[in-house]
Structure 1
Amino acid sequence: MRRMLQANTSWTEQLHSVLWAYRTSVQSSTQETPFRLTYGCKEMIPIEIGQPSWRKVRAKQEGQESNDDALKTDLDLIDEIQVTAQCRELAAKQLLAAKYNRQVRPRSFNRENLVLRRADISNKNAKDGKLEANWEGPYRIKERLDGGAYILATQARKPVKRTWNTDKLKIYHS
């Protein structure tokens, strides 16, 4: 989709192809295609419709009733396939959360610690370029609130208007 938009083509003409590609691609979180999770059977690609494929040959050899029975069996199994996919998706989410939590380093600051705060949040000017300072300060920690928020004060002990979260602060080493 991104390539189509960058190429300045008529993306509406290509949308059905992009959606088909997405719906027939195996998703890493569920190990299934969205098509199979919806309809209970594997999709038939356009080439298989015009040419003889193993599925069409098997359906002809076994007869229409046998093919219908196989499709009904697939539809009966769709609930199990969806439950299995949900379990896989939950496992993938837990794995991703565990990976994220391993990399997170909790930070906390004590009262009177000197910290720097992110400059791009406090001063949002369109005139500021990319060479402006990323951090400003130092500020003193006046009070710690629940949830990792802090009330800051200037060096002259004048309180700063709003609270600041831990991820927008870093320790100042003088």
Structure 2
Amino acid sequence: MNIRKATENDVNGIAHVHINSWQTTYTGILPNQYLSSLNIEARKKNWKRNLKMLHSATFVAENAKGEIIGFAAGGPEQTHEPLIQGEVYAIYILKEYQRQGLGRKMIKAVIHELMKMEHKNLIIWALKDNPSCGFYKALGGRVIAEKTVKMAGIKLIEVGYGWEDIQDILLHL
């Protein structure tokens, strides 16, 4: 498995992983109709824009064939919370490649970039019912915030896993 910084040439692979991961991760959390309606062209457009942002750190994971099988992204905290500086925006891996240590490797790459940007602390938001919440707890994150979000026409709870010192997450990687 190879982990590297994402480029604009990776938009197709990232969009594929993004949609596929949502469909496998959020089944039973988000309506099936919504999950099946996710649009690859819209995701590609979104990621093309995201990858042009100078302040973001996006990495992809490739299998032995060079196919993108996962991605992770981070940058400055997005809600302008004055006490939190860095945020991991997304980490998604195709289901068949999960539980092989890839998430830890990708998040480590993002954390190192956030540290280069001089972010001192970190938050990762996740839907409360997301089965990956255990991953953030295993990395030493603790719930420091909670908010209600509306997705696919329904209200859901998001929890923010935080690290007061961004370097603390590295102790678990």
Q: TM-score, normalised by structure 2?
A: 0.21
Q: Which has the larger radius of gyration?
A: 1
Structure with more relative contact order (C-alpha pairs < 8 Å, separation 6 or more): 2
Greater share of residues in strand: 2
Q: Quick check: which one's helix share is greater?
A: 1
Q: How high is the TM-score relative to the length of structure 1?
A: 0.21
